[in-house]
Structure 1
Amino acid sequence: MSSIQVADQTFIAAPGSAVGEVLADRSRWRGWWPDLQLQVREDRGDKGIRWTITGGLDGTMEAWLEPMLDGVILHYFLHAEPRGGIDGLSGRDLLAANRERRVAGKKMSFEIKARLEAGRKAGVAPAHAQ
């Protein structure tokens, strides 16, 4: 079991192909995860992307896109160990590290959501579903 574990999900009213395109844009990765180096393990297009990560953490990360209603659920998973291991880290430090990574994942998913849903009124089907 990894010391840093994040599992989160966000509904995005956009097709998986559009979400997958934003996720695959390497120029965005540094903004979302500034201390991580990502190596694509599997680019699944409209189904998401899987990475191996190094840097501030060593482990794996995934954004899985599940078709749902008129969009997708972006499932975000991170399983990793802090650089240098957990020796010397208190339980409070590990909780803080987990929280920091959950917040980073949520910022990523909300940025994608805001970008792809821009201009859509609440309760109105997205353009691709009309």
Structure 2
Amino acid sequence: MSSIQVADQTFLAAPPAAIAEVLGAPNNWRRWWPDLHLDVREDRGDKGIRWTVAGPLTGTMEVWLEAAADGAILHYFLHAEPTSAKPLAPRALAAANRARRVAGKNMSFELKARLEAGRPAGVAPASAR
């Protein structure tokens, strides 16, 4: 089991292909996870991306896009170990996990805001009509 374990999901009222287009831009990765070095392990198109992670953490990260209703569920996973020579104290490890959960939620909420902009609540995305 990894010391850093993040699993989260968010529904986006947008087609998986539209989400994948924004998700696939490396300049966005640098903004969402500025201290991590990501290497694409598998680009799954409208199903998401899997990366290997290096930098202050080493491990794997994935965003899986699951088509659902008139959009997709964005599943975010990060499984990693800190690369510091000294093990993190329990409180520091809890803070590191929280920081990574917040970064993942910021990413998913940015995608949601961008791709759902202008769509009234309860109305299907334009491409789903």
What TM-score range do you get, normalising by the shorter chain?
over 0.9
Aligned counterpart, 1:28: 28
User: C-alpha distance in 2, partners of 1:85/1:20?
Assistant: 36
User: C-alpha distance in 2, partners of 1:125/1:29?
Assistant: 28
Aligned counterpart, 1:106: 105
Amino acid at match of 1:96: A
Amino acid at match of 1:109: S
- What is the aligned-residue identity percentage? 71
User: C-alpha distance in 1, partners of 2:18/2:90?
Assistant: 39
TM-score normalised according to structure 1 size: 0.96
TM-score normalised according to structure 2 size: 0.97
User: C-alpha distance in 2, partners of 1:86/1:111?
Assistant: 34
The runs of 4+ residues in structure 1 deviating greater than 3 Å are none
How far 1:86 moved relative to its partner? 5.7
SS in 2 for 1:106: helix
Q: Does 1:126 align with 2:128?
A: no
Deviation string, structure 1 residues 51-98 (Cα, Å, up to 9, x no partner): 0010011000000000100000000000000122562x2111110000
Aligned counterpart, 1:48: 48
Q: Does 1:92 align with 2:91?
A: yes
User: C-alpha distance in 2, partners of 1:50/1:24?
Assistant: 11
Aligned counterpart, 1:73: 73
Question: How many pairs align?
Answer: 129
Aligned counterpart, 1:18: 18
SS in 2 for 1:125: coil
CA RMSD of aligned residues (A): 0.9
Compared CA separation, residues 20 and 85, structure 1 to 2 (3 A): farther
How far 1:117 moved relative to its partner? 0.4
